[in-house]
Amino acid sequence: MIVLDTHAWVWWLSNPEKLSKRSRDRIERSRKNKTIYISSISVWEVAMLVEKGRLKLTMDVMDWIAKSEALPFVHFVPVSNNIALKSVQLPGELHGDPADRIIIATAIIQRGTLITKDDKILNYPHVETLW
């Protein structure tokens, strides 16, 4: 079971060659098992990036999100109270980006491997990661 960081989700659907081979292989296995999870905070991040012009999609962001939601092997995880609290109570040293903290908390609570290229997250020892 995996949780995709926001950039991993975007790259997987738009530019899979940007993913590492290990990440692509793990995503493919998880696709077959229908165990790909994405935090709803990533929807917010994608919308913000599009709004700021830092991410260009081939279609309207609402349509892009809807197509992702329609994939039968992808599950969006709402930011529950439990996830919100966990994101504030993460152990050890970690940067303060709230979206990253929520994604990490989601992976921990879901007991999944977080697919990310973010070095700060990859070096955070309290969540299982893969790149």
Domain ranges, ordered by start, for the chain: 2-130
In the sheet that holds 129-130, the strands lie side by side as 74-77, 36-39, 2-4, 113-115, 129-130
In terms of Cα–Cα distance, which of 101, 115, 14 is closest to 61? 14
**37-91 pLDDT tens trace:** 999 999 999 999 999 999 999 999 999 999 999 999 999 999 999 999 999 999 9
Q: What is the pLDDT of residue 94?
A: 87
Sorted by sequence, the CB contacts under 8 Å of residue 85 that are 6+ apart come out as: none
2-130: CATH class: alpha beta
State percent of the chain over pLDDT 70: 100
The model carries a pTM of 0.95
- Rounded to 10°, the helix 81-88/98-110 angle is 120
d(CA 58, CA 120): 30
Beta bridge partners of 77: 39
Q: What is the pLDDT of residue 95?
A: 77
Q: What is the pLDDT of residue 38?
A: 98
